[in-house]
Amino acid sequence: MAEITAAAVKQLREKTGAGMMECKNALVEAGGNEEKAVDILRERGLASAKKREGRIAAEGIVGSYIHMGGKVGVLVELNCETDFVARSEEFQQLVKDIAMHVAASEPSYVSREDIPASVLDKEREIARAQVKNDPKMANKPDQVIEQIVEGRLNKFYEQSVLLDQLFVKASEKTVGELVMEKVAKTGERIAVRRFTRYKMGEGLEKRDDDFGGDVAAMLQ
């Protein structure tokens, strides 16, 4: 079997707009042949999903998830293009799944674009200081250090950004890739506009239970 490199996956993703895992799976199925992989993605309706991002998504619903006992509550606004899709069972299940994911994984932002520049600057500064204080990195050139810093910043995205987080019910895909799959199926633009997560007693001086772990455990 042909080796599927990260560069090949990235190139196919940029060309088709499909998710990372979809691109990798298509390349594996195509034996590393990019043209065949594009055809596979088109047949599955994934290659054109990215093109729908410019459309206006003004319909949708606000969904919720309440953790057992009312310990954690989440509201999520998920938008689409038509009321017909918004009322569909699959769309409503998607917003419920995303709300449950937010309860379990505690993201801070919907997308990378929502992160304030000051926060990114601080994360880069911390990562850079960690690298420079590591004896193993003492003689590394600045270019290499910056690559390591950006790699650590990607970890920050995976931890803090909803669309970059691995989906709690299917860890082989991110929430962003889950949404793109639904875009391909419905033929409409679907976008997570915002979410709010409430945790009972947050900010008060009391015992801090691992509610995220509880929710994740329910999905096992």
Which residues are CB-contacts of 186 (< 8 A; sequence separation ≥ 6)? 80, 85, 88, 90, 91
Q: Report the alpha-carbon distance of residue 21 to residue 178 in Å, rounded.
A: 10
φ, ψ of residue 72 to 5 degrees: the values are -135, 135
Distance of CA 174 to CAs 38, 163, 199, 216, Å? Answer: 21, 6, 24, 15
- The reported pLDDT for the residue numbered 188 is 86
Please state the rounded mean pLDDT for residues 86-110: 96
Q: For the chain, how long is the longest CA-to-CA vector?
A: 60
**Residue 41 near residue 23, CB atoms below 8 Å:** yes
In CATH, what class is 116-159?
mainly alpha
Q: Is residue 75 predicted with pLDDT exceeding 80?
A: yes
pLDDT, position 9: 87
Indicate the class that CATH gives domain 52-111+161-218: alpha beta
Measure the CA–CA gap between 19 and 104, rounded to whole angstroms. Answer: 23
Domain boundaries along the sequence of the chain: 6-47, 52-111+161-218, 116-159
Q: Which residues pair with 62 in a beta bridge?
A: 77
Confidence of residue 197 (pLDDT cuts 50, 70, 90): very high
With b meaning 16 or more CB within 10 Å and e meaning fewer, what string describes 169-193? eeeebbbbbbbbbbbbbbebbbbbe
116-159 has the same fold as 6-47: no
The mean pLDDT value of the chain amounts to: 85
State the architecture of 6-47 in CATH terms.
Orthogonal Bundle (1.10)
